[in-house]
Amino acid sequence: MKIIREIYGRSDYAIIGALVEARTRVLDLGCGEGELLAWLKENKAVDGRGVELTGARVQRAIARGVSVYQGDLESALDDYPDRAFDYVILSQTLQETRDPRRVLRGMLRIGRRAIVAFPNFGHWRVRLAHLWTGRAPKTGLFPYDWYDSPNIHFLTVLDFEALAQKENWRVEHRIFLAGRRQENAMLNPPVLIFLAGRRQVRLLPNLMGEVAVFLVSNGAVKS
């Protein structure tokens, strides 16, 4: 497949693919055109569902054979029964949700595990941009002006860890990525553009990591 590109020995899908066990039930929130779900279905035999707001993307996802619900992900969570999924994936959208804690709680209500990927506001480039310009930071990862940004919450790796601790979620995996995105990534879906072409960061993740991927489960409930 053209859209699977091996970078630093790992394909884009492999990042999430490695976290998802085969033959499980997966819900992808903000699934775009359903590429990830289609890949997981094909390669990991998962039973996949998606939620996506944009009609054109929903159409292409359904045309791809993926069962996608057209709706707002924040309200969509409420309909599903408890423990309906093994994994609930939220990529690059947490910082855009109105009530991120409610979203995360909802994900861990309907799923045994949640996979959350978000841009790290604690990255050194963001810190420098803020320090030097004295204005709302604009970087490759946060390219927007303050008035047209879809991001309404700014969180760092440490912020997420703190919330996880407070909510008693168990962080089972953390992956931090950095490096430039591919410029010619038009073919890739948003989730993969987001993860693609980055290298893994192991040292000082809150400073060096641009993207954080967390696999969390609900510590309070035995799974």
Partner 1 sequence: MMTEASTTFEKLDLDCGVALSPVEVAYETYGALNAEKTNAILVLHAFSGDAHAGGEGGWWENMIGPGKAFDTHQYFVICSNVLGGCRGTTGPSSINPETGCPWAMSFPAITIADMVRLQKMLIDQLGIARLLAVVGGSMGGMQALEWAVTYPEQVAAALPIAATARHSAQQIAFNEVGRQAIMADPDWNGGNYYGGKPPARGLAVARMVGHITYMSDQSMREKFGRRLRAPDQFEVESYLQYRGSKFVDRFDANSYLYITRAMDSFDLTQRGALPSLFEGIRTRFLVISFTSDWLYPSYQSLEIVSALRSRNCDVAYCNLTSHYGHDAFLVEVEEQTELLRGFLASTFREASRKA
The site for partner 1 (CB under 8 A) is made up of 47, 49, 55, 58-60, 62-71, 76, 79-81, 84
Smallest gap from residue 196 Cβ to partner 1 (A): 25
Smallest gap from residue 53 Cβ to partner 1 (A): 10
Q: Residues 6 or more apart from 197 whose CB is under 8 A from it? A: 5, 7, 179, 180, 181, 182, 185
The strand pairing partners of 51, in sequence order, are 29, 69
Of 19 and 53, which CB lies nearer to partner 1 in the complex structure?
53
Smallest gap from residue 100 Cβ to partner 1 (A): 22
Smallest gap from residue 26 Cβ to partner 1 (A): 13
Of 84 and 193, which CB lies nearer to partner 1 in the complex structure?
84
Of 4 and 84, which CB lies nearer to partner 1 in the complex structure?
84
Could you write out the DSSP letters of every residue in 78-101?
A: GGSPTT-EEEEEEES-GGGSS-HH
Of 9 and 81, which CB lies nearer to partner 1 in the complex structure?
81
Look at residue 189 and give its three-state secondary structure: coil
Backbone φ, ψ for residue 100 (5° rounding): -60, -35
**Quick one: which H or E segment has residue 169?**
strand 169-178
